[in-house]
């Protein structure tokens, strides 16, 4: 009790003193303390991010190769980095991975766009009406924990064996985590900011568009990240369950087929493709965050 009081008091004092206005920790390390190794001109943390990442990547590949050299796993079960890289290059050259990636990304992006839009609509519904809130709370509680892939059979009955069924399943996988994060973003908007906005005469749609959405952006971004992961898992799992042969299957189908044909390096090439897309999207989202919430001081870099 007395402890928490002391903390509160400290907080208040520092808040009053703080002309910069940022919320900072009231405790700060003494200035003489330095992070270890910061004296060395070649310390790890001083290297450019890209270099650091590349080194980590190289170490991972080295471990992979070491595992291959020491354990000699059966080539019908496991592939080394060299064979995987060759299969990766060949797969992109002959267009198989490219077309599989395009197929998967098309389905994924359409499904995610619909899911994000639905998540937004649900959140707005929950924000403007109590009935909407009850509906969204119930649906989220029921559907969010459900692995989206579990409703694929249902989707096939409703939409047939086509991309629409997959899009539906992905949209379902994306909409609920999005709604949860967006609602959190909306409900945690600073009350003073909300009052200021109301005072300016902002109502309903303008309030949502110009205040709640940007103010909730940090949460929305983490919602997008979660959704992206959910979406990926769902699309790959869905493609493993049903894919269309004849060159129009997606990455999951490509991996599955390669496994059936015991083309292990191709399986790894597909996995590498997924990993690279994951890294690329992560970078895009980070870039977006740097240009928005970080630049606006709403989130640390």
Partner 1 sequence: MSLSLIAAACGSSSAAPSSAKSTTSGLHGSLVIATQPDLGYSALNIIDQEGWLTKAMPGVKVTWDTVNSGSTVETGMISGNIDVGAGGVAPFLLGSAKGVGWKLFSSLGDENLELVVKPQITSFKSITSSDRIAVVAPTSIQAIIMKKAAQKYLSNPNALDANLTILSHPVAYQAFKSGTIQGALDAPPFQQEEVAAGGHVLVDSYSLFGPSTFNAAWVMPSYYNSHTQIMKVLFAQIQRAMALLNDHPDQAASIISAYNQGSLSVSAATAAITSSTVRWTVTPQGYLVYGSFMKSIGLISTSPTSVRQIELPTLYGTNGN
Partner 2 sequence: MASRVARIKKGGAPVGDTTGADAPGDPSIEGTGPDLLLSANGPQPQRDLPARAASNSLPDSDSTLLSLEHVRISYRLRRSVVEAVGDATFQMDRHERLMLIGPSGCGKSTLLKAVAGFIEPEGGTIRFDGRSDLTPGPDRAVVFQEFDQLFPWRTVIENVAYPLRVTGHERAEARQRAEFFLEMTGLAAAADRHPHELSGGMKQRVAIARALALEPAMLLMDEPFGSLDAITRVRLQGELKRIADRTRVAIFFVTHSILEALTLGDRIVVLGSPPSHVRTVVDVRELGGPTDPRYIEVQQHLHEQLGATDKDLSGVEL
Residues engaged in binding partner 1 (CB under 8 A): 74, 76-77, 153, 156-157, 160-161, 242-248, 253, 256-257, 259-262
CA dist 132 and 194 (Å) reads 21
Q: How far is the CB of 249 from partner 1 (least distance, A)?
A: 8
The residues, ordered by sequence, that sit 6+ positions from 109 with a Cβ below 8 Å of its Cβ are none
Of the residues 19, 35, 49, 74, which one makes contact with partner 2 according to CB under 8 A: 19
Residue closer to partner 2 by CB (options 98, 196) is 196
Q: Which two tokens stand for residue 11?
A: 């907080």
Picking from 255, 213, 210, 280, the residue whose alpha carbon sits closest to that of residue 104 is: 255
Q: How far is the CB of 93 from partner 2 (least distance, A)?
A: 45
Chain position carrying tokens 């959190």: 184
CA dist 116 and 167 (Å) reads 12
Residue closer to partner 2 by CB (options 10, 162) is 10
Q: Of partner 1, partner 2, none, which one does residue 260 interact with (CB within 5 to 8 Å by kind)?
A: partner 1
Q: Of partner 2, partner 1, none, which one does residue 192 interact with (CB within 5 to 8 Å by kind)?
A: partner 2
Q: Of partner 1, partner 2, none, which one does residue 153 interact with (CB within 5 to 8 Å by kind)?
A: partner 1
Residue closer to partner 2 by CB (options 35, 192) is 192
Is 159:170 a contact under the CB 8 Å cutoff? no
The residues, ordered by sequence, that sit 6+ positions from 97 with a Cβ below 8 Å of its Cβ are 88, 91, 251, 254, 269, 270, 273
Residue closer to partner 1 by CB (options 232, 254) is 254
Chain position carrying tokens 């997606």: 250
Q: Candidates 26-34, 127-135, 269-277, 291-299 — which segment interacts with partner 2 by CB under 8 A?
A: 291-299
Picking from 220, 148, 142, 143, the residue whose alpha carbon sits closest to that of residue 181 is: 220
Alpha carbons within 13 A on the beta-carbon side of 51:
7
Q: How far is the CB of 65 from partner 1 (least distance, A)?
A: 21
CA dist 186 and 268 (Å) reads 41
Picking from 118, 236, 124, the residue whose alpha carbon sits closest to that of residue 171 is: 118
R_g (Cα) of the chain, nearest Å: 25
- Residue 3 engages partner 2 in binding (rule: CB under 8 A): no
Q: Candidates 120-128, 172-180, 210-218, 273-281 — which segment interacts with partner 2 by CB under 8 A?
A: 210-218
Residue closer to partner 2 by CB (options 62, 200) is 200
Restricting to residues 42-61, name those near partner 2 by CB under 8 A.
none
Chain position carrying tokens 């060395």: 40
Of the residues 211, 255, 264, 269, which one makes contact with partner 2 according to CB under 8 A: 211
Picking from 279, 243, 271, 234, the residue whose alpha carbon sits closest to that of residue 255 is: 271
Q: Of partner 2, partner 1, none, which one does residue 95 interact with (CB within 5 to 8 Å by kind)?
A: none
Residue closer to partner 2 by CB (options 213, 235) is 213
Is 175:122 a contact under the CB 8 Å cutoff? yes
Q: Candidates 170-178, 200-208, 246-254, 273-281 — which segment interacts with partner 2 by CB under 8 A?
A: 200-208
Binding site for partner 2 (CB under 8 A): 15-22, 190, 192-193, 195-196, 198-202, 206, 210-211, 214-215, 217, 292, 295-298
């Amino acid at each position: 009790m007395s402890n928490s009081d002391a903390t509160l008091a400290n907080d208040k004092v520092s808040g009053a003193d703080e002309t910069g206005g940022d919320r900072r920790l009231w405790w700060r390390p003494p200035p003489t303390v330095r992070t270890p190794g910061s004296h060395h001109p070649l310390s790890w943390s001083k290297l450019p991010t890209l270099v650091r990442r590349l080194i980590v990547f190289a170490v991972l590949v080295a471990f992979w190769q070491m595992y291959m050299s020491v354990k000699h796993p059966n080539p019908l079960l496991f592939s080394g980095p060299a064979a995987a890289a060759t299969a990766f290059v060949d797969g992109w050259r002959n267009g198989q991975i490219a077309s599989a990636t395009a197929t998967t990304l098309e389905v994924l992006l359409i499904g995610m766009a619909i899911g994000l839009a639905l998540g937004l609509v649900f959140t707005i519904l929950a924000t403007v009406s109590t009935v909407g809130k009850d509906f969204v709370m119930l649906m989220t509680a029921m559907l969010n924990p459900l692995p989206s892939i579990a409703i694929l059979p249902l989707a096939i009955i409703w939409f047939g064996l086509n991309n629409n069924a997959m899009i539906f399943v992905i949209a379902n996988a994306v909409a609920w985590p999005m709604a949860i994060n967006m609602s959190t973003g909306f409900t945690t908007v600073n009350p003073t900011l909300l009052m200021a906005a109301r005072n300016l005469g902002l109502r309903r749609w303008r309030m949502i568009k110009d205040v709640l959405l940007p103010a909730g952006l940090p949460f929305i971004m983490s919602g997008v990240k979660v959704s992206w992961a959910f979406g990926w898992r769902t699309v790959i799992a869905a493609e493993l369950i049903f894919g269309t042969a004849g060159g129009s299957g997606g990455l999951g189908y490509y991996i599955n087929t390669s496994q059936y044909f015991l083309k292990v390096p191709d399986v790894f090439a597909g996995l590498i493709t997924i990993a690279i897309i994951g890294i690329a999207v992560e970078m895009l989202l980070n870039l977006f965050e740097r240009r928005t919430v970080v630049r606006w001081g709403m989130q640390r870099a």
